[in-house]
A = this chain, B = another copy of it.
Amino acid sequence: MLEVRHLRTLIALAEAGTVSRAAERVHLTQSALSHQLKALEAHYGVAMVRRHGQSVKLTEPGQRLVTLARTVMGEVRTAERDLTKLVRKPAGTLRIVLECHTCFDWLMPIMDAFRKHWPEVELDLVSGFHPNPLALLADNKTDLVIGSENKPRRGIVYHPLFRFEVLAVMPTDHRLKAKRYLAASDFAKETLITYPVPEERIDLIRRVLKPAKIHPRRRTTELTVAILQLVASRRGVAALPNWGIKNYVDYGYVIARRIGKSGLWSNLYGATTGEVARLPFVRDFLETARRECFAKLDGVVPVQ
């Protein structure tokens, strides 16, 4: 019998492209999904996926069920939102601090959607640089901090968002363009173009270059597009999330390479106080962010 659980996994499967990945996303084992699929196929007497070498592709019936799943899950979500609103009008505010500059790119559409679903909730983006963003939570100066920090602290709850790869961005004719991936030493003679934040906030420096005692020149600018412009015009190289530069790379504006053999990966968390974490609209915000990012952003995987 078809259940919501099956719909969930079908969506995950459609978006992840492999059973194992999909399993991670719905917090089950690969085996569980395999069994679920088998049960579904037995029940309807049709193959839902076709193994195309490594990856799995949905068959036509599978596609049909995925579209069903998408609409159904959407309806379930709005119904559940209505439900929490019925319980108590959830007036409130949600003030967000971004530790990571690039996050603006994906956060905007999410905020737009949120405003539609929760018009009663005042949404605020606390901008500007903060030396210790998590302290703002305790001081009740903000409600949600989005960043890669997840050190346990009393009173603070971390909500894993997603995991992404940071790539080195270089001009198309760069001397290192032949390499599959860059080592720390490769950055020695380069100018590093970054956002104007302290070194500790830049993953590449903190986790790769500093341990290797390499200190390249730095040049800073505020906007992602500005960074890319500087890179394209050979003023230096940058390190940016793969989803932030995908379009520019596809277009041939710049090229991107791995950093280190297995890549430089970063986790993103939403941090709140325990109290805020319980607010229905906050939970909805985080859940929506997670879901939309997995669906829309390239190369994004679940945290750990």
B72 in contact with A86 (CB, 8 Å): no
Interface residues in A78-100 (C-beta closer than 8 Å to B)? 79-80, 82-84, 86-87
A34-57 CB contact bits vs B (8 Å, 1 = yes)?
000000000011100000000000
Minimum CB–CB distance for A251 against chain B, Å? 38
Bound-state CA distance A3–B8 (Å) is: 11
Q: Which residues of B contact A72 (CB under 8 A)?
A: 72, 75-76
Q: A175 at interface (Cβ–Cβ under 8 A)?
A: no
Bound-state CA distance A201–B46 (Å) is: 44
Q: A5 at interface (Cβ–Cβ under 8 A)?
A: yes
Q: Of the candidates B68, B80, B87, which one forms a contact with A76 in the assembled complex, judged by CB atoms under 8 Å apart?
A: B68
Q: A71 at interface (Cβ–Cβ under 8 A)?
A: yes
Q: A182 at interface (Cβ–Cβ under 8 A)?
A: no
Q: Of the candidates B2, B64, B82, which one forms a contact with A64 in the assembled complex, judged by CB atoms under 8 Å apart?
A: B82
B2 in contact with A87 (CB, 8 Å): no
Main secondary structure of the interface of A (DSSP, over half): helix
For chain A, the count of residues having a C-beta within 8 Å of the partner chain is: 25
Bound-state CA distance A72–B1 (Å) is: 15
Q: Of the candidates B3, B46, B65, B82, which one forms a contact with A3 in the assembled complex, judged by CB atoms under 8 Å apart?
A: B3
A75 in contact with B86 (CB, 8 Å): no
Given known pairs A64-B83, A75-B71, the reply for A1 and B2 (CB within 8 Å) is no
Q: Of the candidates B1, B2, B45, B86, which one forms a contact with A60 in the assembled complex, judged by CB atoms under 8 Å apart?
A: B86
Bound-state CA distance A87–B67 (Å) is: 17
Minimum CB–CB distance for A221 against chain B, Å? 46
Q: A274 at interface (Cβ–Cβ under 8 A)?
A: no
A46 in contact with B76 (CB, 8 Å): no
B45 in contact with A87 (CB, 8 Å): yes
Bound-state CA distance A60–B46 (Å) is: 40
Q: Which residues of B contact A87 (CB under 8 A)?
A: 44-46, 61
Q: Of the candidates B1, B61, B82, B84, which one forms a contact with A4 in the assembled complex, judged by CB atoms under 8 Å apart?
A: B1
Minimum CB–CB distance for A71 against chain B, Å? 6
Q: Of the candidates B1, B68, B75, which one forms a contact with A79 in the assembled complex, judged by CB atoms under 8 Å apart?
A: B68
Bound-state CA distance A123–B45 (Å) is: 26
- 12 extra interface residue pairs, beta carbon distance < 8 Å, beyond A3-B5, A44-B83: A2-B4, A2-B80, A4-B4, A44-B84, A45-B87, A46-B83, A61-B83, A61-B86, A65-B83, A67-B79, A71-B75, A72-B72
